[in-house]
Amino acid sequence: MAKARRKKQTRQPKIVSYQLNLQLQADVAAAVSQIRLEASHQTQRESVRIPLRLHPRSIVSTPPISLPAPKDHIPDISLLFAKTHYIHLANPTLADLCLHEIAKVFDCLDDTCEDTKHSLQLLSIDQLSRLSILVTWYRRWTSADQLSLLCNPSLEELCISSLSIPDTLPHIIPVSTTAISLEKEVAESWEEASEIEVHSTGCARLLKLELVACRNISSNLLRALPALEMFTLMGNSDFDNVDNDLLLHLPLKLRVLWLIGCPWFTNDKILSFAQQRHSTLGRVHLCEVRIVECHHISCTMIETLWHQYLPNVLLRFN
């Protein structure tokens, strides 16, 4: 009995010591694993750092390789348009901020509403021109009838985009109509009229016209604007149906010609234009021709032959 009692008394301490021994082994194994893990991470970090120390970054930077643009490449019209206009002014006025907001919703305006037309015509001529540029920037030209909101006989600058030019002619080409009020029901001559009203539509004083990615551009538009002094053609491709001899129908009063992002222009078209202006040198006022992103044009060839025909006209390629 005494021996059994002693075994029962000593059994519990042995179990506790055994459990403590297992716990100690587990702690030692975990510590060894942690040491090995840290050692392996340290080895990996050292193996990564050593090559970086042996191969420091070169001081001389290698310039990026600029590949020539393919000849059928159509440039980014938005980027070119932003380079040729001041879209967001550094210190905008309240009026300019309002023009931005009007331009953003220009496609939602009712072009048949007389109140809307009257409200926009209260803007100054410069503000109407600025609004046409902002509408082009925000891509809100959806119909040629929208031109009725901006066009008036006093407008001097106009910018339109993404429209078919034949549809815009009724709004741009100047037309004058006469209304005669008579005192008698039947009058023998106009001298008996009590009142004569002349109603003008279109843009009779238009001096600057910019067409951005427009379609079906023919010489009919240029013939109707003999007072045009600056003409800009931007973002046209071979699929926009532009007359091949469009430049030959530009008015003689033209002073500035910009061709931007039009890959369909070729050396022959530019040289034909230069020869035509050279033949009428005494009647032309051309001062500047700017050609940008027209990949079918050889700048070296055009610049060499340009001085033979128009040496006093500035030729730019930027």
Residue 196 lies in a domain: no
256 part of a folded domain: yes
* Dihedral of alpha carbons 107, 262, 284, 245, sign: negative
Residues 6+ apart with CB under 8 A from 126: none
- On whether both 238 and 298 belong to a single domain, the answer is yes
Does 197 fall in a domain?
no
In a domain, 67, yes or no: no
- What CATH number is associated with residue 264? 3.80.10
Residue 20's CB: how many other CB atoms inside 10 A? 10
Pairing of strands 208-212, 193-201: unpaired
Low-confidence ranges of the chain (pLDDT < 50): 47-63, 65-69, 71-72
Asked if residue 102 and residue 52 are part of one domain, the reply reads no
Please answer whether residues 251 and 228 qualify as being in contact, where contact means their C-beta atoms are separated by less than 8 angstroms: yes
Is 160 among the domain residues? yes
d(CA 163, CA 166): 9
Both 38 and 155 in one domain: the answer is: no
- State whether 214 and 292 are in the same domain: yes
Are both 248 and 165 inside the same structural domain?
yes
Domain count, the chain: 2
* pTM for the whole structure: 0.72
- For the chain, where are the alpha helices, taking DSSP H only? 2-54, 77-84, 94-104, 114-121, 125-137, 165-172, 219-223, 267-279, 299-309
Residues 88, 157, single domain; the answer is: yes
In this structure, the answer to whether residues 157 and 117 fall within a common structural domain is yes
Asked if 138 and 17 sit in the same domain, the reply is no
pLDDT score recorded for residue 179 = 61
**Domain membership of residue 267 as a residue range:** 77-175+202-316
Mark whether 37 and 120 lie in a shared domain.
no
Instruction: Output the pLDDT for position 191.
Output: 56
Q: Is residue 188 part of a domain?
A: no
Per-residue model confidence (pLDDT) at position 95: 95
Q: Which of 286, 261, 291, 259 is nearest to 274 (CA)?
A: 286
Asked if the structure places residue 166 within a domain, the reply is yes
Whether residue 248 lies inside any domain: the answer is yes
8-25 pLDDT, tens digit per residue, is 555 557 788 878 888 888
If asked whether residues 151 and 6 sit together in one domain, one would say: no
3-state DSSP assignment of residue 310: coil
Residues 2, 42, single domain; the answer is: yes
Burial class (CB in 10 A: 0-12, 13-18, 19+), 24: exposed
Cβ contact 289:269 at 8 Å: no
**pLDDT for the residue 45:** 54
End position of a domain, from candidates 30, 60, 90:
60
pLDDT score recorded for residue 288: 96
Shared domain for 123 and 52, answered yes or no, is no
